[in-house]
Structure 1
Amino acid sequence: MSAQATQPAAGKMTGMSKETSKETQKQTPKGAWTVTFLLFLFMLVNFADKIVVGLAGVPIMTELKLEPEQFGLLGSSFFFLFSISAIVVGFIVNKVPTRWVLLTLAVIWALTQFPMVGTVSFTTLLICRIVLGAGEGPAASVAMHAIYKWFPDEKRTMPTAILSQGSAFGVILAVPALNWIIVNHSWHYAFGALGIVGLIWVAAWLALGKEGPLDTHASAVIEPKIPYLQLLTSRTFIGCVTATFGAYWALSLGLTWFTPFIVKGLGFSQSQAGFVSILPWVFGATIVILTGWISQVMLARGYTSRISRGVLGSVPLIVGGLILAMMPHVQGAGLQIALLVVGSGLCGAIYVVCPPMLGEFTPTSQRGAVLAIYGALYTLSGIIAPLVMGSVIQRAGSMLDGYMTGFTINAAIMVGSGALGLLLLWPNTEKARLTGGAAPQAAPLKSAVSPT
């Protein structure tokens, strides 16, 4: 009798526990948005550091007497250690708090800028860019891993979009300021200014940066590890790498060659180029925010992550490539710039959706490494794209013809990578396959790191 009496009570308590767990999973920990803002600034500095060589491309080529192939090598050198560093640090952040890893990376960025303040040789500039690339290689994946310690899965798309906005705003805000320094003083001082800004961020992070609490809850979860071979050969992982490879091809060309194209290819002045150079990033920022918002709304309304993340990220990449392919066939600098801005800007959608898709089926204890390997693989296009463009320009009949051929190659890669992404991105079914179709046993708050 007493056993029968206690059974419903136990069932009631279990129900209450489940309700409490569901309620808790929807709560964002206090301080999450402060850390998100600091990491937004982290990515802002990251991309300002990246773009300064492209922005100062014409003065650098003039002062150091560089051929297009040499400047292409300089653009590619940034990525020589980028992928290796990303993978190594990705495994480190599985064990070491992201707070200290992010601090170390930012210090490296700042210190590598200062040698360029004085007289510098091509070799010194090349070495500093290689070291900077090693410091920036893990940045996006570590920052994303840090953000995911503050937000449950169903709330990650918008913070991911905000973090991605750091790249756009790093260009939008930095380009006018850096270009003013380049035009009115020297490209050398533009590097020095970035070093100072980097140290300011380090001080702010020391004061306000914290480690997210959700990993503490995750440690209570009975969440078996999945062999890395299975994770890295899953079709969604391959699809994410392939799709983002094409998007990053466009981005790395934008970082290295966009401003020289405006100045040498279309005949704008350096001052005018500073304004024109921010247009792709303004448009791209809009795409990123819209993608993050639309994706989160679709998830809340019950759409699968295949649709609300996979399809939503891949289709703009295909459309962008088709738009970019029209550039050689239209007349007028204004129309060509418009096609380049829209075509390359649409790539931003894929950056918002891929990390959350990988987070859906990757165990928390392995997430840092998987995100890092993903980043390391797709950024390999950063080594290839600037070199290809430099080689094409140097061998073309005219400089403008060379640029148009290079952008056509970019368009083909975007369409192909977007189409492969559309075929391969199935994160919701990937989770079921990798876990054998059964949800893992969990302590309360397991759902805080599970996909919806």
Structure 2
Amino acid sequence: MDGHSTPKGAWRITFLLFLFMVVNFADKIVVGLAGVPITQELGLTPEQFGLLGSSFFFLFSITAVVVGFVVNRVDTRWVLLVLALIWAVAQFPMVGTVSFTTLLICRIILGAGEGPAFAVAAHAIYKWFPDHKRTLPTAILSQGSAFGVILAVPALNWIIVNHSWHYAFGALGIVGLMWAAAWLALGKEGPLVPTAAMAAAETRIPYARLLTSRTFIGCVAATFGAYWALSLGLTWFTTYIISGLGFSQHQAGLISITPWVFGAAVVMLTGWLSQLLMGRGASSRLARGVLGAAPLVLGGLILLTMPLIDNPTGRIAALVIGSGLCGSIYVVCPPMIAEFAPVSQRGAAIAIYGALYTLAGIVAPLVMGSVVQHAASLNEGYLTGYVINGAVMIVSGLLGLLLLWPNTERARLLSSSDVAPVGLRKPA
């Protein structure tokens, strides 16, 4: 393998990992989709429901970092299998009668298993594609989030409406076991890894320098704003449609698909356009950095208009478009980090990036819950929460535009006197 061509089987692995992310986001969306019946059955306040949404992320970042270092030494094939099994097992306790505490604990366990998912999957895919061909597979992997919701919402909502929200969790557990069986049979480790000689010659960058580089900080800042919007979509969107705008559970289930359909289009368009620009010689600063960060600013500005719109359809449209534009940043940041992070450190670097930006998942649902509970009316509380979301996105996008310079980052990092080829460094 010359390192410039795509190995046989790469797209099969990409499809399996796409399905991995489909399951991942179906698991995430179920609490938000069943938010109203869960709240009614368990007697939850808005702040308690916000806590339930945030609980998913309590261990999310910690496990993302830990597993990120693990995959520097352990084959991603086995790590992905273990993660999928954790997801499945964490769903089954909700099939029977469950307390708020049990539901909270299961969501924390699920979040611990899902925290490393995208970083490990991206690291696995990068063992199958050379650098100049990674943006499109990354976009497909990111699409798993949208399709996880698009495919899962109608099925899960049918179960919720016609049977019980409890059975929706059980269905997800069964699907998780099915993916694990398919991966065990078909999953393989990619061949594009350094040889022993290449690893010995590879320059290693101290993590303190790598993680404080301008582009790494820019990726974290920009994606933090995007994930603020995403976590609100996972937790609060359906509840807002029902409680804030007056739609039924059945109607809300159909409407809840729209942000993910739009987001899917944004992600695929970004992946295609980024790879096209790179192929035509554009710098990754433009083809990845600007292309990923600018839509955040535009999306945030659109969310700021929501209080000025006086009809439900217009507000849904602003929320769908404003939040959906965030998808661009997920496509471009992992390839940007892979541009300057040494291969032996890439898995950990992408995982730490994920651990940091997903901290928004802890904060955003809690902020929305607190704002809604203390507002003069439910509708006023939701609108204030989405205006806050818009402001966060604008700041994050501007920081991304300022800091994302991946095309020159590696040269800056290697110019330091404290980096040296791995083979010349003293053993740790």
TM-score category (smaller protein) = over 0.9
d(CA) in 2 for partners of 1:330 and 1:262?
A: 15
> Which residue is equivalent to 1:40?
18
> How many Å apart are 1:374 and its aligned residue?
0.2
2:216 maps to 1:237: yes
Following superposition, the deviation at residue 218 of structure 1 comes to 7.9
1:158, CA displacement in angstroms?
0.1
RMSD between aligned residues:
1.6
CA contact (8 A) 2:3 2:192 kept: no
Equivalent positions of 1:72-111 (< 5 A) are 72-111=50-89
Post-superposition, which runs of at least 4 consecutive aligned residues in structure 1 deviate over 4 A? 216-219
CA contact (8 A) 1:150 1:213 kept: yes
Give the match for residue 320 of structure 1: 299
1:188-221: CA deviation from partner (whole Å, max 9, x where unpaired):
0000000000000000000000000001458635
TM-score w.r.t. structure 1 length? 0.91
How far does residue 255 in structure 1 lie from its aligned partner after superposition? Answer: 0.2
Q: Which amino acid aligns with 2:7?
A: P
User: Secondary structure in 2 aligned to 1:214?
Assistant: coil
Match of 2:400 in 1: 421
Deviation for aligned residue 1:224: 1.3
Residue 292 of structure 1 corresponds to which residue in structure 2? 271
Secondary structure of the residue that 2:188 maps to in structure 1? coil
Aligned residues: 420
Aligned partner of residue 94 in structure 1, secondary structure: coil
Matched, 1:68 2:46: yes
Task: Give how far 1:25 is off.
Answer: 3.0
Query: In structure 2, the residue corresponding to 1:303 is in which secondary structure?
Result: coil
The C-alpha deviation readout for 1:237-282, integer Å capped at 9, x for no partner, is: 0000000000000000000000000000000000000010010000
Distance 1:392 1:218 in 2: 55
Q: 1:413 to 1:219 in 2, by over 3 A?
A: farther
Partner amino acid, structure 1, of 2:251: Q
- Counterpart CA distance in 1 for 2:271 and 2:165 is 36
**Structure 2 portions without partners, runs of 5+:** 422-428
Counterpart position of 1:173: 151
- The answer on 1:210 being equivalent to 2:210 is no
5 Å matches for 1:248-327?
248-327=227-306
8 A Cα contact 2:263 2:324, kept in partner: yes
Distance 1:278 1:219 in 2: 49
Structure 2 Cα separation of the partners of residues 47 and 164 of structure 1: 10
Partner of 1:446: none
Please list the CA deviations of residues 146-203 of structure 1 after superposition, one character each: whole Å capped at 9, or x if unmatched.
0000000000000000000000000000000000000000000000000000000000
SS of the residue corresponding to residue 220 of structure 1 reads helix
Listed as ranges, the gaps of 5+ residues in structure 1 are 1-20, 442-452
Larger Rg: 1
Cα drift, residue 331 of structure 1 = 1.0
d(CA) in 1 for partners of 2:344, 2:304? 42
Partner of 1:362: 341
Output the TM-score relative to the length of structure 2: 0.96
